[in-house]
Homo-oligomer: A and B are copies of this chain.
Amino acid sequence: MEKVQLDKNFFIPMPVTLIGSMYKGKPNFMAAGWVSRVNANPPQIGIGIHQSHATIEGIEENKTFSICFPNKELLVKADYVGIASAKKTDKSHVFDVFYGNIKTAPMIQEAPLCIECNLVHTYKGPTNTFFIGEIQGVHAEKSLLQDGKISPKAMDYLFLTMPDNNYWSLGESVGKAWSIGKQYKA
């Protein structure tokens, strides 16, 4: 395949998530897609956030955060909290809030799936901070479960691609991991 070189500011496809923190004593949420598991045991997860965001202050102060997963029904609100800044707009009433084990990691009642984390490591990059948290609780709507596991289709995960700036639904199952590769012949 003939290849062309593109701009180095390349974006991978991302899960759409909502990061919860306390900002000036109020629950605050922002949309974020720079998210990845980081460590297997104990379970750690990282989020990358531009240093201009209010969420940075909230997480640094309380050393806790949450990650909720919106479905299509929540998409307008999810995008809204990615546009409006808590520095100018009080976003504490956009969602119904609940708390799990951590009292400074607000989560979203309407979101079908939320996790709460304690901050364990911070990487301060030149423009963004990557917060690594240890997962302390996972809260899922019961209807998402199939044989005790989350059904990705029932969850209705959303994805974001950039710079075309589109949200996407999950497509079709195309193979089993750690399995389909056994068909490979050198």
Residue numbers of A with Cβ under 8 A of B are: 1-15, 17, 34-48, 50, 67, 69, 72, 75-84, 93-94, 98, 100, 109-110, 112, 114-115, 121, 123, 125-128, 130, 132, 135-142, 145-146, 149-152, 157-184, 186
**A9 contact set on B, CB distance < 8 A:** 40-41, 43, 135
**Complex contact A2–B37 (CB within 8 A):** no
**Complex contact A36–B35 (CB within 8 A):** yes
**A150 contact set on B, CB distance < 8 A:** 6, 161, 164
**Complex contact A36–B39 (CB within 8 A):** no
**A50 contact set on B, CB distance < 8 A:** 40
Cβ of A148 to closest chain B Cβ, rounded Å = 8
